[in-house]
Amino acid sequence: MKRHIVPLAQRALEIAQGYLRHGRDLEALEILTKLVRMGGDDLVVAEQAQVLLAEIHLRRREYSQARRHLHVALAYRPDNAQYHFMMAVALEDDPEADPRRALHYFRQAARLDPANAEYFAAWGAFLITQGKIRLGIRKLEKAVALAPEDAQYAQQLALGWVALRDFEKARRVALHALFRNPDDTRLRRLWDEIRWHEARYRQQRERMRHGQEPIIVRLPTNTKPLPRIEATDSGTIRLDAPARTPQPTPHRQERRKGS
């Protein structure tokens, strides 16, 4: 009886995957790096190794390294929506990168997998942080339509309407979400937050009407994907944005996992 012999590259990949399942990223990183350097004829193994390396570097917030591996993975499979999404994330989250480059990758991910609510939600949240609030809201509405049971997408959409000071629509989104998820404490906090924003906005307008300076209040961050944004008379700002080094205006490319 013939024994099935597992090729060396495939066996190395399986060992690395085992390390990753147990949270041992450094051991997996070492094996995968050697595997990539070794090369070989198994393109499936080579592609998977590049993607796993990108995932590790993303977790370690080593964004440029993640993008380098994602570029190779996309060369293997340019039609893979997840790779585009990872590239967009690696661009958006990197304080040294131009986040506008992420837009292309968000768009590609959503085009390649139009039934994926996560892609539309992340795309919409990104657009809002870039000041394109109405366009971002449309993408978030698509995410909610695709996954109406997901309270987080509804939360993002409601806060998008808050940024436009359309508190009635924000409340409507929150109410629909509460109807579907009556026990979700996040949505109950969202309802209170919408009321707080509305009261604050009315107070600010009253102060400005009397020639007084508006009061700037910073809110604590709740869930990570929810950008803290505020629409003011001078424009749209993100209150929780990480410090970003000023950069020259590079040509546009686009969004979320890799570059």
What's the mean per-residue pLDDT of the chain?
82
The structure's pTM equals 0.74
- The CA-CA-CA angle for residues 91, 95, 101, to 5°, reads 30
- Per-residue pLDDT, 153: 96
Q: What percent of the chain has pLDDT over 70?
A: 78
Residue 131 — left, alpha, or beta (φ > 0 → left; ψ -120 to 50 → alpha)? left
Picking from 246, 218, 240, 212, the residue whose alpha carbon sits closest to that of residue 228 is: 240
Cα distance between residue 254 and residue 104, in whole Å: 3
Q: How far out from the chain centre does Cα 115 lie? A: 17
Please report which helix (H) or strand (E) contains residue 227, including its range. none
CATH of 9-96 among 1.10.760.10, 3.30.470.20, 3.40.630.30, 1.25.40.10? 1.25.40.10
The alpha-helical segments, DSSP class H, found in 39-184 are: 43-59, 63-76, 81-92, 102-112, 117-129, 133-146, 151-163, 167-180
Domain 115-240: give its CATH code: 1.25.40.10
Q: Which of 57-71, 125-139, 146-160, 191-205 has the lowest mean pLDDT?
A: 191-205
Q: What digits encode the pLDDT tens for the residues 30-49? A: 999 988 888 767 788 889 99
Q: What digits encode the pLDDT tens for the residues 113-161? A: 999 999 999 999 999 999 999 999 999 999 999 999 999 999 999 999 9
Cα distance between residue 166 and residue 144, in whole Å: 18
Please report which helix (H) or strand (E) contains residue 194, including its range. helix 185-209
Residue 225 has a CB neighbour count (10 Å cut-off) of 14
- Per-residue pLDDT, 65: 96
Query: What confidence tier does 256 reach under pLDDT thresholds 50, 70, 90?
Result: very low
- Per-residue pLDDT, 63: 97
Query: What confidence tier does 22 reach under pLDDT thresholds 50, 70, 90?
Result: confident
Coil vs helix vs strand at 195: helix
- Per-residue pLDDT, 13: 87
Higher-pLDDT residue of 87, 184: 87
User: Contacts by 187-190 with C-beta closer than 8 Å and gap 24+?
Assistant: 187/151, 187/154, 187/155, 189/222, 190/154, 190/155, 190/158, 190/159
Inform me whether the pLDDT recorded for 237 exceeds 60: no
Q: What is the mean pLDDT of residues 38-63?
A: 90
What are the structural domain ranges in the chain? 9-96, 115-240
Query: Tokens in use for 212?
Result: 């007084």
Cα distance between residue 253 and residue 107, in whole Å: 11
